[in-house]
Every structure is written in structure tokens, then in C-alpha cells.
């Protein structure tokens, strides 16, 4: 039996536990069970689904330390950030439970036809979620939270490097009291995931991951006429045009770049700075990045731990070395420390040019690239010269100018005079190769519903 799912501790490089990939018979059984559970879960009264979603939130809160420890070992997130991630999941499940009756309320339509017309939102069936390793609980929460609340059932293929956290979530949903097969974890291969997508009972698929994964899944979904939501990569611009509080802005920049050791699709990755502020910005950014403590993610003194895997660390260093070889300037970092673990030093690069991989590719790790521009127009041209369009941040002392720049950014999200943030009520998603669809907020619950038109004549 092929072993694909395993825990490889990125701090030590040690293989700690292995799990067998599901058999084809087990995958068939999982789809059968999910389809069967849909008939029960979709007809469960909304008040009862809401009650159980609150219980899911409760269990995340109660098990926060236990859940956090799993992902610290699986993918290297610091303990503090891991606990924060679990607590954010609590907020997401509570948001959808609290807002369900409003978000799923009938929408009355004005109609020239005599009678009453309205849209009623209904669940559509089993859904497949394909989730990444960088936020093992949060990514699941923003997919499972709204869709379970609606009444859809979930088949969840997690990243092969996160099997223990995947199983912990499946157990949590069972312990919360959901029907046994409303949420099913599947240790599926990519080929088996394709079979799940092709099954006519599975009505949609949501992917958070790489462009390559998104392209493959979108193609399969299209062939099988399935709705798809794709949350893919990002190379977000952090634009600083005018400020009288540069040290605070730089601290915002460091936080926006270094969360989760820089392994976030919506992390700030390209820092585009007006010429009068550029030299001081680079100096302050370099000092703050160099002062961050790298090490054991379970140590409370550690600011950032390893990358998720040896492959992630070596891949990032290949991109960095390409830039260095072609003339980029390293202000701090640019190396891997000696010893075990998938560690990469916090790095600041300047003088990155279009012929370098770092100019167009996403740098998924603790590497900040800083560019100098003359004005807002040049900043926008550079910011939009990217295959990605996820998010961005704009700093300017004149709010009207900042808003004008925000309007012209070709992205799905923009933050003005603050680092990129979020909340369960705020839609998340991008444009271009960053994906299609939205998660979280009122739009997140609308992605996999049947917006059913009902018309009742006056005499009906």
C-alpha cells in the first residue's frame, strides 16, 4: 500500500509517522457515505445546524493547545501563531453560526409578473475540499464553516504533510455531534481526487494551493461541469508613497511579510517605496528583519521557525540565488544556517529586475523584495506587473490619494494605511492567477448554494 501521507518534522527533518493512502474501495465508500449523509444533513433544521456549528467552535477553543502542537510539529508554525490560527477558526465558525439566518434568508425580487418572486438558497450536495499545509485549520474552517452551515457535506483531502491535524479535525466534527459522514477526511492520491471530482454526486470543489494544483483541478472540474473555487498564489504589493511615521510602517511591513515564516499567499512580498523614503525604509527593514529570532517553533522566544519542508526551503533558496547571481543586492540573510531543519534566514533583497525569477514568481518564505519608484503611477505600474492579483496595501498620508491608488490596484483585496488583515466577515480572494471565487464573509457562503428562484402567483 502506497505511503503518501506522513509527518516529517521540518525542525529536525525526522519522519515521525506515516499513514497509508486510501484504497480505491475506501474512496468509493467515502463518496457513498457523503452522498448518504447529505440527505440527512441538508434536511436538518437550520437551528440545529447552527447549534452544532457553535459546538464545533467550542471544541476548537477547548482543544486549542492540542491542535496547535500538531501543526507545529507537522509544518513548523510557531506555537503562538498555531494557537492564534485555531482561535481564528473559532471566530469563523461562530460568525457563520451567528449570521446564518441573515445570510441564508430569502431574497425578495421586484418582478413585472403578478405575484411574489424570491430567491431561496439551498445546499447542493457533497463538496470536495483540497487544502494546503500552510494554515491546516484555518483553510479548512473557511471552506467547511459556511458550507456545513448551508447543509452541504464535506469530503476533505488535506495536504499529505498534515495527516494528524487532518484526522484531529475529522474527530472534532464527530465529537461536536454532526452526522458521522457529514465531514469525511480522505487520504486520497491526486488520481483518486480526480475520480471524486468526476463523480456526479459531488457537486463542487474548492482548492487552496499552488497555480499548478489549481489549473489541474479547474480543468477536471470544467470537464465534469462542476463549480470550482480557487484560492491560489499571491505576490502582494506593500506600497509606501508618503508617511510621517515610517518606523511604524516598517514594523507593519515586517509583520505582513513574516507571519508563518512568510508562507502565506496574502503576505506582503513586494515592497514598493517612494524614492524620498526608500533608503531609510531599506535600512529600517533590514535592521528589523535581521533582529528576528529564528529557531525551534515551540520555543516562545522564536519569531519564526523553519519552512514547511526541505523541498520548500531549497526551492526558495534557488529563487534567491538566481536573483543574487543576476545582480540583486542582499542586505541581510540570503543563506541557510548549518544544521538540521528547513530553515532559511530572513532576507531583504533590492535591485531585483524582470529577468530574475524573484521579479514574477511568488517567494513563499521569509524573503522581502524592495523596489524604488518615483511616484504613484510608477508604483501602480510595478504593482500590477504581476501574474497575481490577490491583495495589497497602500500607505499615504492623504486618504484620498491612498484610496485612488487602492482603486487602481488590480487585486481582490486592498488595505489602506494598515497592514493586510482579515476577519471572518471580510471576503477573501483575488484576480488573475490568484484564483476565482471568494471565501469568508457573506460571499463565502454563497459559492456552493443553489439560488433557487421561486415565483408564487397572487392566486397561488
Gap between the Cα atoms of 77 and 82, Å rounded: 6
* Band of pLDDT at residue 420, cut at 50, 70 and 90: confident
Gap between the Cα atoms of 285 and 279, Å rounded: 10
Residues 6+ apart with CB under 8 A from 261: 76, 77, 304, 305, 306, 307, 344, 365, 366
pLDDT at 421: 86
pLDDT at 348: 98
Check: CB of residue 92 under 8 Å from CB of residue 106.
no
Check: CB of residue 261 under 8 Å from CB of residue 366.
yes
* Band of pLDDT at residue 268, cut at 50, 70 and 90: very high
162: annotated active-site residue: no
231: annotated active-site residue: yes
Q: Tell me: pLDDT of 363 over 70.
A: yes
Cα atoms found within 13 Å of the Cα of residue 385, Cβ hemisphere only? 14
For 46-81, the pLDDT digits (tens) are 999 999 999 999 999 999 999 999 999 999 999 999
The sign of the torsion formed by the CA atoms of 382, 428, 316, 205 equals negative
Domains of the chain listed by start with CATH number: 3-232+435-456 (3.40.605.10), 236-423 (3.40.309.10)
Active-site residue identified among 85, 231, 362, 439: 231
Active-site residue identified among 265, 345, 362, 447: 265
Which residue carries 524620498 as its cell?
Answer: 276
Q: Tell me: pLDDT of 2 over 80.
A: no
pLDDT at 240: 98
Quick one: what percent of the chain has pLDDT higher than 70?
99
Quick one: what percent of the chain has pLDDT higher than 90?
96
Residue 347 has which C-alpha cell? 532576507
pLDDT at 404: 97
Q: Between vectors from CA 305 to CA 322 and to CA 72, what angle results, nearest 5°? A: 130
pLDDT at 1: 45
Q: Tell me: pLDDT of 3 over 80.
A: no
Rounded average pLDDT over 252-272: 98
Rounded average pLDDT over 228-249: 97
Amino acid at each position: 500500500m502506497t505511503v503518501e501521507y506522513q509527518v516529517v518534522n521540518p525542525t529536525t527533518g525526522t519522519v515521525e509517522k506515516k499513514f497509508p493512502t486510501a484504497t480505491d474501495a475506501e474512496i468509493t465508500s467515502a463518496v457513498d457515505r457523503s452522498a448518504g449523509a447529505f440527505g440527512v444533513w441538508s434536511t436538518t433544521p437550520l437551528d440545529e445546524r447552527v447549534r452544532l456549528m457553535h459546538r464545533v467552535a467550542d471544541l476548537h477553543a477547548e482543544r486549542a493547545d492540542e491542535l496547535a502542537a500538531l501543526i507545529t510539529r507537522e509544518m513548523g508554525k510557531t506555537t503562538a501563531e498555531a494557537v492564534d490560527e485555531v482561535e481564528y477558526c473559532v471566530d469563523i465558525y461562530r460568525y457563520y453560526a451567528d449570521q446564518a439566518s441573515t445570510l441564508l434568508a430569502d431574497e425578495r425580487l421586484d418582478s413585472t409578473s403578478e405575484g411574489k418572486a424570491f430567491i431561496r438558497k439551498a445546499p447542493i450536495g457533497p463538496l470536495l475540499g483540497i487544502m494546503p499545509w500552510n494554515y491546516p485549520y484555518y483553510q479548512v474552517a473557511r471552506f467547511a464553516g459556511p458550507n456545513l452551515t448551508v447543509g452541504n457535506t464535506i469530503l476533505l483531502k488535506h495536504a499529505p504533510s498534515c495527516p494528524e491535524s487532518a484526522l484531529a479535525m475529522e474527530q472534532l466534527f464527530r465529537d461536536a455531534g454532526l452526522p458521522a459522514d457529514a465531514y469525511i477526511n480522505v487520504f486520497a492520491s491526486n488520481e483518486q481526487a480526480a475520480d471524486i471530482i468526476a463523480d456526479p454526486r459531488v457537486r463542487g470543489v474548492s482548492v487552496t494551493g499552488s497555480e499548478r494544483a489549481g489549473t489541474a483541478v479547474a480543468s477536471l472540474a470544467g470537464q465534469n461541469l462542476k463549480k470550482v473555487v480557487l484560492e491560489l498564489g499571491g505576490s502582494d504589493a506593500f506600497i509606501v508613497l508618503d508617511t510621517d511615521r515610517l518606523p511604524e510602517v516598517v514594523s507593519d511591513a515586517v509583520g505582513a511579510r513574516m507571519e508563518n515564516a512568510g508562507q502565506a499567499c496574502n503576505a506582503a512580498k513586494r515592497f514598493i517605496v517612494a524614492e524620498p523614503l526608500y533608503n531609510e525604509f531599506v535600512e529600517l527593514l533590514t535592521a528589523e528583519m535581521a533582529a528576528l529570532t529564528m529557531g525551534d517553533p515551540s520555543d516562545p522566544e522564536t519569531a519564526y521557525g523553519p519552512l514547511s519542508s526541505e523541498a520548500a526551503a531549497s526551492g526558495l533558496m534557488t529563487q534567491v540565488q538566481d536573483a543574487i547571481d543576476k545582480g540583486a543586492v542582499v542586505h541581510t540573510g540570503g543563506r541557510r544556517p548549518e544544521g538540521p531543519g528547513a530553515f532559511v534566514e530572513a532576507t531583504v533583497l533590492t535591485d531585483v529586475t524582470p529577468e530574475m525569477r524573484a521579479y514574477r514568481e511568488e517567494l513563499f518564505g521569509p524573503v522581502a523584495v524592495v523596489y524604488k519608484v518615483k511616484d504613484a503611477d510608477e508604483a501602480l505600474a510595478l504593482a500590477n506587473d504581476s501574474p497575481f492579483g490577490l491583495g495589497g496595501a497602500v500607505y499615504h498620508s492623504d486618504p484620498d490619494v491612498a484610496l485612488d491608488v487602492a482603486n487602481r490596484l488590480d487585486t481582490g483585496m486592498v488595505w489602506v494605511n494598515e497592514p493586510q488583515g482579515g476577519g471572518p466577515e471580510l471576503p477573501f480572494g483575488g484576480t488573475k492567477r490568484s484564483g476565482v471565487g471568494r471565501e469568508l464573509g457573506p460571499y463565502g457562503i454563497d459559492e456552493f448554494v443553489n439560488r433557487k428562484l421561486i415565483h408564487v402567483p397572487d392566486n397561488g
